[in-house]
Structure 1
Amino acid sequence: MIPLALSGDRSYNKDTLRRYVQAGNRIIPGTSTVHFDKIAKQRIYESIDTARFSDMKLIKEAYFNLRFKLGRIPKIADFADHGSIDVSRIFSKFKSYHHFLIKIKDKDYDISFTPVQERMLHFISQKLTIGMRARDLIVLQALLDGRDDIINYVSEELYNNYNVDLSEYGRINLINMMTNRFGVQVAQKTFEDSEFIEFSNGKYGISQIFKQALEDNNFKEQVQELVTYGFKQFNEKYKDNIYGNTPFALYEKYTYEQVCLLLEWPQNEVPLNIGGYKFHKETKTYPVFINYHKADDIQDTIKYEDRFENPGLLKAISKNKRTFTSDDVQTAFNADALGVAMHLFVRKNKDDEESKEFYYLGPIHSTGQENAKEISMANGTAAVELEYVLEVPVRDDIYDYIVNG
């Protein structure tokens, strides 16, 4: 409970809670101070590691406390308005708020939906309500409002209200997302029939399956609640924190899938295909993913020693069996000249089953072949150690947590 009390954070995200403990005095307002000695920190970390924040009991307790306080079934917005558990915890555990209410058998909740409607609520709850970007939510709101020619409408909205040009790759990415073609095959099966738009008469409009689903007023009301919540998330967490011309907010956390989506790739890539980085030729984007602390028993072929030299300088190891002449290494060396955007994402604890996200630390730039070196891994496999300058030196509390926490 200590990091929860200090931070006021109700997401129950283990990585976030660990960082609050490491940050110590930095997060306490006013003249108050707090200090944890090494043993106290270790004990708190152990408690966080063993805590079951996705446990049904924790979520039910938070729900019924809020329900008792309000005297009714809470709306989605009520959880944030009354400082209760982050509703995203419910989405990740129970697919959707509707599914949660069915699961706990609240006697006052008697709404039922078709399997198709339930999958659509699941998709919107888990994929879109986080609010990382406005365009997906604009599509849904436009459909709820009965608008037509959706992609062109979204393009105009993004330009007029967000100063964003929707590129051709962005259009394809958005269409694939809203027709359930962005996810890998397993995800497409999970969210089967979650197609919100379809092409007809030369333009994209509402799909027949979504149009039919919206004829149920209870369903339409719940979709509207989710869209409103998503826009609130975007406005509070992302809108004013997007860095430069990137689609990312500095120091926010992203999964592999979310990075692929925001970089406007036509389809998600499974983490195994990305590895530590992946260059996407069409969009000229090159995300670099680093697991800063790795397990001692990790295979020698991938036992890279990525490290910060200081908050503005990073040493990162290539994939194995690479030399200076390898295509991905050459692309990294010459990214600026080639117009390739490289982005850095760092994760503290790869083994945390709940925290699958990476901190976005901004654009990075290779200092060139002259500051790199070809190395041999412990098992003799060739690799390249590259040097990168961070466009924005890592903020003190984040740096301290990643390097020393």
Structure 2
Amino acid sequence: MIPPRDALDVPEPAAALGANILGFVRLLRRAGLPVGPGEALRAAEAVSLAGVEQRAVVKAALRATLVRRHDQSLLFDAAFDLFWRDPERARAGAALALTEAQRPEEKPRAGGRRLAEAMAGPRPPPPPPGEEKPLQDAAMTVSEREALGRLDFEAMSAEQIAAAKREIRRLALRLDTRPTRRFRRDPLGPRVDLRGTLREAARTGGEIAGIARRRRVRRPPPLVAICDISGSMARYAQVLLHFLHAVVNERDRVQCFVFGTRLSNITRQLRHKDPEIAFEMVGHMVPDWSGGTRIGEALEEFNRRWGRRVLGQGAVVLLITDGLDREGGAGLAEATERLRRSCRRLVWLNPLLRYAGFEPRSQGIRAMLPHVHEFRPVHNLESLRDLVAALAPGGREERRR
């Protein structure tokens, strides 16, 4: 009898099947999924009950026992297709996946690099301490943390991505609180609460036993980020979007926009917990990545469509662009001035400020510069730390011209 086309090539003994399932669970764990021995036992039991005659049934059984959240489905599907093709050729498949992920003309799947490294297995252990290591001259080298601050996020391995996430978690963005129109009850509040006083008096037969007081509610202002993703900003946009992804998942009332030749709102896509899946969703949504730049049109569209929605209650705006406008700065001064008047604080982050001899020669830069509150560099983790310190409560506002 000829087996069906979608049947898995699994050995008949149950021990071999259990070993393959255990190897698959270890692969998912190395790739970043939170699975352990308990999930492996449940997966083996589910596969034994469902049977191995059909590939789709086995995949559904493993997904039901190993996947906890929806954002883990893409990584699970890629690992299943690669591992169950032929477990004995895992290393060859890992090398093939890593080669495909490094092709410049094709965009790798989400989690492809982490999956390839997980298929390759753990690294060999370090040599025993008894062996003498050759002396190396480290006079002109830098520490690993400093090198990580200059390394592009797209070129990082799984370990470096984890280290970068830890660095980004330390950059907790805490904005200074601002008073709102709402009040809350406070026995030591500066205002008298007349309604609260009468409400308490009604409970005691009209006798006023005490004066209720209230205090104005304070909360951090909204944060709006408008990031340039044109060709001249492509190498910085990857790093800055990782920073914005961490901010969006940490705080509320955060809105993120990107623009090249058109404006796109990517706040909902950045809400995804996994950064690789979030950026893949952004890549499918944004059609003008690494293209031209129309800063004036993008800011004018933002002011017209989104200004009143997201710029209330003293919002802080981060405008991330190098100021190199395709249209020569047409309408850029008016759009920037209107944006400045609509928010409490407009911070322009320009990676070109990393050069010591920077001069505002571009027409777009000269048109925007008089209408911003602050002008800061942004090109590595150190500049992001300076930005976080400036936006924190008690941070010093700077205006660089």
* TM-score, structure 2 normalization: 0.25
Indicate the structure (1 or 2) with the bigger Cα radius of gyration.
2
Higher relative contact order (CA 8 A, sep 6+): 1
